[in-house]
């Protein structure tokens, strides 16, 4: 347990059962990923699961520290294989998330996103039953469709109240725009990276299969558990600080 600093442990066996070690075809590899490759089997690169476990532990430590300091980690996974899990786990630990579509400028132009959130709130008022009754059926359906689109893209960030301290991304290649924005403003980037993408722009690399629903679920749940552990340690520290003065 000391190796994990009290963080939830993920075993090599569990990672292997999930298929986390299966990379892409050998010809699609990225040279920067070389140190995370265990070997080749059936023309597929095999990822070293010791490195995957090590990356998950490093990512968990970072996320626990961020949560313990009262800051946020944004979960990003818009891939069908992990979007729903990312949403549920981010909600479980109270973190912002993007699981439908990355909005350009979400990090680098946060004021624009704040305006979009205001627009979402306005549409929610307009789509109340009493307001919809005063519209034609066609107008009402159009308004509800617009509201649905806004909710899909903004529900996960509407209560963010400022920028997060870190970005946790499942599939670096798929979300390269989000990573580029985070790098631009100096935000910590934690990412699951497969054999076909560069690790050069990632601060904390979790090398692993980024297509398997099972393995994606393990990565996301592990990070959410780490955030919850950090939040718990923050709650424990607060009473100690408030009682520090004692009686005069």
Dihedral in degrees, nearest 10, Cα atoms 210, 20, 72, 74: 10
Among 19, 48, 24, 45, smallest CA distance to 35 is for 48
Structure tokens at 94: 């109270």
| 67 closest CA partner among 181, 241, 235 | 235
| CATH class of the domain at 2-107+163-238 | alpha beta
Element at 170 (helix H, strand E):
strand 166-170
Rounded distance, CA 86 to CA 83, Å? 5
- The structural domains of the chain, with segments of one domain joined by +, span 2-107+163-238, 112-154
**Cα–Cα distance measured from residue 29 to residue 53, given in angstroms and rounded to the nearest whole number:** 21
86-132 pLDDT, tens per residue? 999 999 999 999 999 898 888 988 777 888 888 888 888 888 888 78
Flag the least confident range among 34-38, 92-96, 135-139, 186-190.
Answer: 135-139
Measured CA to CA, the distance from residue 125 to residue 154 in angstroms comes to 16
pLDDT in tens, 146-201: 888 888 888 899 888 889 999 999 999 999 999 999 999 999 999 999 999 999 99
CA distance 94 to 181: 23
């Amino acid at each position: 347990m000391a190796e994990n600093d009290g963080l939830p442990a993920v075993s090599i066996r569990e990672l292997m059962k999930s298929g986390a070690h299966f990379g892409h075809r050998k010809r699609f590899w990225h040279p920067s990923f070389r140190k995370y490759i265990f070997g080749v089997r059936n023309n597929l690169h095999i990822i070293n699961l010791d490195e995957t476990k090590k990356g998950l532990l490093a990512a968990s430590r970072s996320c626990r520290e961020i949560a313990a300091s009262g800051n946020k980690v944004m979960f990003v996974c818009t891939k069908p294989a992990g979007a729903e899990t990312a949403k549920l786990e981010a909600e479980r630990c109270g973190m912002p998330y993007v699981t439908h579509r990355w909005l350009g400028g979400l990090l680098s132009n946060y004021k624009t996103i704040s305006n979009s959130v205001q627009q979402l709130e306005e549409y929610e008022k307009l789509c109340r039953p009493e307001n919809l009754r005063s519209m034609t059926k066609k107008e009402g359906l159009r308004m509800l469709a617009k509201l649905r689109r806004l909710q899909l893209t903004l529900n996960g960030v509407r209560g963010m109240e400022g920028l997060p301290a870190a970005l946790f991304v499942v599939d670096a290649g798929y979300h390269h725009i989000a990573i580029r924005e985070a790098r631009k403003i100096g935000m910590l980037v934690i990412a699951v990276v497969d054999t076909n993408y560069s690790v050069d722009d990632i601060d904390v690399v979790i090398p692993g299969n980024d297509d398997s629903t099972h393995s994606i679920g393990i990565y996301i749940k592990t990070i959410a558990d780490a955030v919850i552990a950090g939040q718990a340690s923050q709650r424990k520290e607060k009473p100690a600080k408030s009682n520090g003065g004692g009686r005069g």
